[in-house]
Each structure stands twice: as structure tokens, then as C-alpha cells.
Amino acid sequence: MALRRRTYGEDDILLVVARRPDHAPMEVLSATELSELRKKLSTMKEHEVRSFYRSAHFRCELHEIRFPSARSVQELVQAWKQLRKGRRL
């Protein structure tokens, strides 16, 4: 879409460009990957789970140009559940 406006007696054309939607395939953990992640987190020590949680939390931060992937959110939730299970949060 082009807009016309007058600037110092001349015509300028401003182009309005829409952002293209991100059509990258969604990264999602499958059911087997989720169960493997749960097992892995359950065998970790508390400080390792906290470190995993912090890194997952960092990956899930909202930014103006991108949203977190579904995989990152799934990892964050599983780490949070493991910490809550042991009341270590």
C-alpha cells in the first residue's frame, strides 16, 4: 500500500509494509519427549533443576520481535512442576 503526501512541494511515496507471519514449523515436544524430560528432571539435583528452570525462563521471555517457542514453554512448565513437586521453588 502506498501513501502519498506533500513534502516541500514534492510528492513523496511512503510504502507501508506489513510484517510477514512466521511460517516456521512449530517446535513441540512429543509425548515421549515430554516423559523423557520428566524422568531427566526427576533424577537431577535441586540446583541443576533450578538452573534448567532459569535457562528455560530466559528462553520464554517475551520480546517485541519474537515469541517463545512451544517447546521452550513446555520445558519451563515441566521444570516448574518438578520444583513444585519437591516444594523447592
Averaged pLDDT for residues 10-27: 62
Mean pLDDT over the full length of the chain: 83
Averaged pLDDT for residues 42-66: 94
DSSP 60: T
pLDDT of amino acid 17: 58
The pTM score is: 0.68
What dihedral angle (degrees, nearest 10) is formed by the CA atoms of 43, 47, 51, 54?
110
Averaged pLDDT for residues 14-33: 73
List residues bridging with 14 in a β-sheet: 3
Cα(56)–Cα(44) distance, integer angstroms: 15
DSSP 8: T
Q: What residues does each domain of the chain span?
A: 22-85
